[in-house]
Amino acid sequence: MKEEVIREPLWKIRLRLWMRSFKQNWELFREKKLALFGLGVIIFFAIFGALYPMYPVLMKNIFWKDQEDMFSAMKPYDPIIGYDPFIPGHPSPPSPRHPLGTDPLGRDILSQLMYSTPREFTLGITAALITVVIGTMIGASSAYFGGVVDTFFMRLADIVMLFPTLALLMVLSAFIELDLLKLALILGFISGFGSITIVLKAQALTVKVRPFIEAAKSAGGSDMYIIFKHIIPNILPLSFLYMMFGVTSAIFSEAVLSFFGLVNVRMSWGIMIHTAESQGYLGGEFIGKFWWLWLPAGASITLLCSAFYFLGRGLEEIVNPRLRKR
Amino acid sequence: MEILSVKDLKMYYKTKLGYVKAVDGISFTLDEGESMGIVGESGCGKTSVSMTILRLLPENAEFMGGKVLFNLDGKTVDLVSLPESEMRRYRWKGISMIFQAAMNSLNPVYKVGDQIIEAMLNHNPKLSMDDAKKKVAELFELVGLDPRRMDQYPHQYSGGMKQRAIIAMALSCDPKIIIADEPTTALDVIVQDKILREMKKIQEKLNMSMIYISHDIAVIAEVSDKIAVMYAGKFVELADSITIFKKPMHPYTYGLMHAFPSVTGERKELTTIPGEPINLLNPPKGCRFAPRCPKADERCFSEDPEYVEVEKGHFVACHHPLEVGEVINFGE
Amino acid sequence: MGNEKTILKIEGLRKLFPAERRLFRKVRKFVHAVDGVSYEIREGESLALVGESGCGKTTTGKILVGLYEPTDGTVVMDGRDVTPFLFESYGKAENYIRRVYIDKFKNGGNGNHIGNFEEYKKIFKDKFNGNEREFVKYILKDRKKEMKNLRKKVQMIFQDPYESLNPRMTIFDTISEPLNIHNIGNLKEREEMVAELLDAVGLTPPETFMFRFPHELSGGQRQRVAIARALILKPRFIVADEPTSMLDVSIRTGIMKLMLKLADEYNMSYLYITHDLAVARYMSNRIAVMYLGKIVEMGDIEEVLKNPAHPYSKALLDAVPVPDPEVKREEPNISGSVAKPINPPARCRFYDRCPYRMERCKKDPHPQLREIAPEHHVACYLFEK
């Protein structure tokens, strides 16, 4: 049979197969209301953050038409150095000029919120990505090789899990300037060697004993070939799921550190709350009176974190057929 | 005396895509002390038949009609229409079951004897502990286990011994009927042989009725008085075991008989039934074996063959039943 | 018969698994999974390896395809010792060469069962003047390549068709995987080879199967895919580990016939591992019955099934259910049950369960296989005078 059997290029077929499985999984995913909500929230925040550059322009055209010089001098919608001189006292409650009010230093809360959003995403996703890449590789190789490799990484995971990460970060912040990227790297590395390796190793062990691994071995596949071609693709869905949870924990950690003022970040949701706290607006009766200082940032942290978490839980049911209700 | 009579039993599983017709109009009768074998391939619904009789069904199972008449001490009840609380009395005491891969169903953290005692006390709370222990010891003797092993844990048992313990458990409430679903599938031949002999002996001794379910026609042939061949949710043929081997009338039965290699006699060519079993989800009209049958004609694809008694005790559902001695060729 | 070329010869193969885990101390308890097994397989022939679970039949097969390293013994393929290439590490391969060759060269041991023993001896003496290190280096110089070559020649078909295909790979990727590993052909040639094989194993038309995933195939179809994968490197020899035991009857015969047909077309030999004597009889010309790591009886399959000599083979044969309700079988004459062979005593492995055991069986070591009839070997003292 010399005629051509496959009439299309291979990549086209693969793309179609991929699209098909995506569609099938989407059907399953659509039934999970909470996960859809999570996805919706994530998309909302993504758009919200992307719109940031337009916000000052819009405000300028509405409220600052006659004071162009003043606008460019004071930059009233800059999240870090902005100041609105036309408001009698700061912090000011929400008003048409400042939809979410201003902070004690006279900066616009909404612009702070929008400015921080893409940075939260970057931090969360970078940290989670690093975690998952490390966790997957270590999980797969300690399952596959066993022995000394396994023992070493598992004990390391025990140590990392027992270690108070937050305390470590606090100490670290005294030595190095923790900017967003460094923080993402550190968070990613620490959790990458932690519990995720144990979970992914357990999964990889179930893959390792299946005969298709032996089939690949008897065909002459090298250790690396088997790990990358057979074991990792089969634990990748679980890794992806853990990435979602990783995003949640990274954003949380950043918020906590920022709140204590330990991170060298100019603006973030955590910093917003930190500002309110350090100026004394979170104490006693003030907490209710100056709600716009902490509520937008606090709500955003909660919402985005739970959104990734819900998304993860929804994916979990797709990844793990045993959880499917049928 | 007839002890169980199943009439036109139907049970479908409801799925998103439609009904899976796992049990689709099954009828048979079972006499006291008789043993029947149900043979069929995986997915043909043979396990679902036993689950329907015992009403141990998952949530998405829907009962679609038929009767299961069970005769206990001269009283006949329809198990299908009983309320669940009543049904519980008939399970284990009336009909008990040895599940597929049952040896893995022993709980590893309890002593084997205690697990059997618990099953007994569940169905007969008045039983005293001493009597229960005595009974378990008797049961152990009966199935060929050392009664001293009562106080051991499942991991101290070999595969064959676990299977014996499971049989003892099934016998613990003096059932009238035992349904054994693939009782020896995971066991080695020598152990399988011993277990089957044991079960046969016990059945004769206690005058019980048995329903064996298996994919292995050789196992079924050894232990059954009559054999039902099941294909795609229906019985296609039912007859006493000698008749069904001597003159099979359904082409599927014929194909099965000739698909098994044998260790004795001439080395014969084996039959291959072409194709694959049909999907029980929304099966097409007509005979379900028709797509794989060399004798199928238009009628077979449009009209469902009726399950009729062609001679006493020999039922078959086929438009073109085989003549005695007819040879059919399934092709390559 | 008997004149065909021997393509595979196994001599004294042993595999011990540690039966305990000890930290920093030497393991002392071993499961003797395969304990001194020897047989040969001739070209185009199929040898059935039969026994109950735990008898070591699968382990034997897995050693041949390089999934386990042998503890001891020699594997000769096409007259050439390939054992050094079954070891993962250089050190173990070196140990083997020292044990089997160099020690014997020096102390004058016998190695005539190995086809190239004399040749190696000459090389050792003349070319290297007895320089051990250089000699080992010479034999192992293309170790990686030899290992790959060996893998090409011997392939395996696994028992469970549901587990032996990677669920995330398409059928095309699965079958062409060995080509990928061995860097054979370009994409187009691979496509053609896969299509041809799919055709050969009865999955037609090939293009409808190529880009499906395993879960979209039935059990029988999957096993056909597994067979195609084993065939794509055109091996000389296939280890088939119960390839039909998980399949339904009506599908099973199709697979068995296919395997027989392919053996003929591709001129391959099988080591057919099974627990089912009837299947063994259908698939093979010769049979070896294994019990706890030892071959107890071996020979032409019709001869062995007609006149089983070893008490264990007899019991095994008697226990096979017969699909005929009119036949009443004898009860197999055997007592007890199989125990794990952890550091077993030297006497006959079957001693504890044997109905015919004698005083001699208790004291003497496990009996050797000896010929009791043409093409019929038994390891039992009942047949020794």
Looking at the fold, whether B162 and B181 belong to one and the same domain comes out as no
Choose the final residue of a domain: B116, B151, B174. Answer: B174
Average pLDDT, whole number, for chain A? 87
Sheet arrangement for strand B2-15? B18-31, B2-15, B61-72, B75-78
- Asked whether residue B124 falls in the same domain as residue B144, the answer is yes
Interface touch C177/A216, C-beta < 8 Å: yes
Q: Containing H/E element for C272?
A: strand C269-274
| Cβ within 8 Å, pair A218-C165 | no
Name the residue of chain C whose CA is nearest to A2's CA.
C192
Same domain, B159 and B79: no
C104 contacts chain A (CB < 8 A): no
Structural domain boundaries, residue B170: 103-174
Measured torsion, CA atoms of residues B199, B201, B203, B204, in degrees rounded to the nearest 10: 160
C89 interfaces chain A, CB cutoff of 8 Å: no
In a domain, residue B321? The reply is no
Mean of pLDDT values over C214-224: 90
Largest CA distance in chain A: 87
Question: What's the CA gap between A119 and B304, in Å, rounded?
Answer: 68
- Which one of B44, B146, B189, B250 would you mutate to disrupt binding with C, by most C Cβ within 10 Å of its Cβ? B189
Distance from C-alpha of A310 to C-alpha of A298, rounded to nearest angstrom: 18
The subunits that touch chain B, with at least 3 C-beta pairs less than 8 Å apart, are C
Residues from chain B contacting residue C247 (CB–CB below 8 Å): none
| Chain C residues with CB-CB distance to B270 below 8 A | 253, 256-257, 282
Q: pLDDT digit string (tens) for B189-208?
A: 888 998 899 899 999 998 99
Whether B168 and chain C come into contact, CB under 8 Å, resolves to: no
Q: For an interface test with B, give the residue of C223, C250, C285, C310 to mutate (most B CBs within 10 A).
A: C250
Q: Cα(C60)–Cα(C213) distance, rounded to whole angstroms?
A: 31
Residue in C168, C182, C189, C190 to test binding to A, most A beta-carbons within 10 Å: C168
Quote the pLDDT of residue B324.
Answer: 85
Q: Are residues B127 and B248 in the same domain?
A: no
CA distance C197 to chain A (A): 11
Domain boundary, last residue among B174, B193, B225: B174
Q: And the tokens for C153?
A: 């020649």
Q: Are B77 and B53 contained in the same domain?
A: yes
E-strand spans in chain B?
2-15, 18-31, 35-39, 61-72, 75-78, 95-98, 177-181, 209-214, 226-231, 234-240, 308-311, 314-316
Could you tell me if B309 and B213 lie in one domain? yes
The pLDDT assigned to C225 comes to: 94
Question: What is the pLDDT averaged over residues C216-221?
Answer: 88
Q: How confident is the model at residue C1 (pLDDT cuts 50, 70, 90)?
A: very low
Contact of A214 with chain C, judged by CB distance below 8 Å, is answered with yes
Domain spanning A116-323: CATH 3.40.50.300:
no
ipTM of the prediction: 0.86
Start and end residues for every CATH 3.40.50.300 domain found in chain C: 70-286
Helical H segments across chain C, by residue range: 57-64, 90-97, 103-107, 117-122, 132-139, 143-153, 171-182, 187-200, 206-210, 219-231, 249-266, 277-283, 301-306, 311-318, 359-363
| Domains in chain A: boundaries | 116-323
Chain C residue closest in CA terms to B245: C324
- CATH code for the domain in which residue B194 is found: 3.40.50.300
Closest-CA residue of chain B to C327: B222
| Shared-domain flag, residues B237 and B309 | yes
pLDDT, tens digit (0-9, with 9 covering 90-100), for C70-88:
999 999 988 888 999 999 8
For the segment A48-52, the average pLDDT, to the nearest whole number, is 92
The answer to whether residues B272 and B196 belong to one domain is yes
Residues of C in contact with A234 (CB under 8 A): 166-168
Q: Scan residues 7-26 of A and list those with Cβ closer than 8 Å to C.
A: 10, 13, 17
Q: Which CATH architecture has domain C70-286?
A: 3-Layer(aba) Sandwich (3.40)
Q: Which of A148, A214, A224 to mutate to test the interface with C (most CBs of C within 10 A)?
A: A214
* B229 part of contact set with chain C, CB < 8 Å: no
Per the structure, the count of domains in chain B is 2
Is C189 within 8 Å of chain A by CB?
no
Chain B residues lying within 8 Å of C53, measured CB to CB? 188
Contact C211 A17 (CB under 8 A): yes
Q: What is the pLDDT along chain B (332 residues), one digit of tens a residue?
A: 889 999 999 999 998 888 999 999 999 999 999 999 999 988 888 999 999 999 988 888 999 989 999 988 788 899 988 888 888 888 888 899 888 776 677 888 899 999 999 888 888 888 888 889 999 999 898 888 888 888 999 888 888 888 889 889 888 888 999 999 988 887 888 889 988 998 999 999 989 999 999 998 889 999 999 999 999 999 999 999 999 998 999 999 999 888 888 888 777 788 888 888 888 888 888 999 999 999 999 999 999 999 999 999 999 999 999 988 888 888 75
